[in-house]
Structure 1
Amino acid sequence: MHFIIRPAMPQDLIHIQKIYNHEVSQGLANWNDQPFDLEHFHNWFIQLNEQQFPLFVIEDMTQQTIAGYADYSSFRKIAGFRHTVEHSVFIDPHYARLGLGLRLLEHLIAHAKTQQLHVMVAAIDHENVGSIKLHEKLGFKHTGYLPQVGQKFNQWRDLVLMQLMLSDESNS
């Protein structure tokens, strides 16, 4: 298999929708409980572009299909947080455990650094050990633990907060 990472295009959104909605119905990587229609993803794509935030896909060139995607956007919609972003990485389950999440996250981090961003935040379900270990591998530090802040599959979920310092700037 041969994979490339590239900016997402509108025709990729149907694949992104499929990957995301699978996670809605089967996984814990997001806590939405209703699938999103294609119009939602078109609007999201437009918003990301308007705000100059990236959306990347990793494409299986052999099968000519999207194996996963990653984005980042505002951590909070308050001016003081403008140098901090929160990211998402989703992989089609057929492509799990191939290192594609690592490749996408490395690409996102490199992109964020070119944009002079300061911090990248990850908010991860406490049982998503694979994602937590991936983030640790890339230098993310544990910065918070929020018990029972969300629900999925009729269970209260705990949230692990991690962050990566993207720049060497500090107040010292």
Structure 2
Amino acid sequence: MPNSGASQISVRSSCDADFPAITEIYNDAVVTTVAVWNNDTVDVDNRRDWLHAHQVPGTVALTAVGADGRVLGYATYGDFRSYDGFRDTVENSVYVSTDARTGGVGTALMTELLVRARDEGKHVMVAAIESGNTASLALHEKLGFSTVGVLPEVGTKFGRRLAMTLMQITLD
């Protein structure tokens, strides 16, 4: 999928060769942001197991790659909840390398994620975003997500109470 900007971005299914870069991107988010509410960094085996769990029917794991072959980010969707009644609803995650956050990578990943979810017959995609993450909120809104609720003070990181904004898009 080409980016409308100066560089080219392709989005494809994640593969094992992506795991070192995906691990680095995830760990940077753990250490420097409130985008993920974990305190501990992980190793490549952890991200491999996690992403392999997102490569079974009903889930998707995508990687964005630059023209030079460098992994720029990744996105997944999986079960929103494990109960049968939620089988047509998925929740997304999207992470972009620090130096690629304003280059259209998130848009490219999320656009393809939405295409895959629609192709798979999913009905709703949900995003749970830290309420101060204005870039992620704006990305989701630009792609048609609507805010459906805010959960104040449900998380803690870096000694702060965090709110979660819930957004969703109907896919069909």
The TM-score by the shorter chain falls in which range? over 0.9
2:153 paired residue number: 148
State the distance in 1 between where 2:55 and 2:134 align.
Answer: 31
Q: CA deviation at 1:59?
A: 0.5
2:116 paired residue number: 111
State the distance in 2 between where 1:43 and 1:101 align.
Answer: 23
1:99 paired residue number: 104
1:66 paired residue number: 71
Out of 121-130 and 45-54, give the one that drifted further.
45-54
Q: In the alignment, which of 37, 44, 49 is matched to residue 43 of structure 1?
A: 49
Check conservation: 2:58, 2:120, Cα contact below 8 A. Answer: no
**Is 1:22 matched with 2:38?**
no
Q: What secondary structure, in the 3-state scheme, does the structure 1 residue paired with 2:165 have? A: strand
Gaps of 5+ in 2: 1-6
2:3 paired residue number: none
2:167 paired residue number: 162
TM-score (norm 2): 0.93
Q: CA deviation at 1:82?
A: 0.7
Q: CA deviation at 1:93?
A: 0.5
Summarize deviations over 1:26-83 as a string: whole Å, max 9, x none: 0111111101111111211222223441111110122x21000011000001111010
Identity of aligned residues (%): 35
State the distance in 2 between where 1:46 and 1:4 align.
Answer: 21
Check conservation: 2:89, 2:126, Cα contact below 8 A. Answer: yes
**Is 1:79 matched with 2:84?**
yes
TM-score (norm 1): 0.93
Q: What secondary structure, in the 3-state scheme, does the structure 1 residue paired with 2:92 have? A: strand
Partner AA of 1:166 in structure 2: L
State the distance in 1 between where 2:57 and 2:77 align.
Answer: 11
RMSD: 1.0
**Is 1:135 matched with 2:135?**
no
> Aligned residue pairs: how many?
166
Q: What secondary structure, in the 3-state scheme, does the structure 2 residue paired with 1:13 have? A: helix
Summarize deviations over 1:115-162 as a string: whole Å, max 9, x none: 000000000111111111111111111101000001111111000000
Gaps of 5+ in 1: 168-172
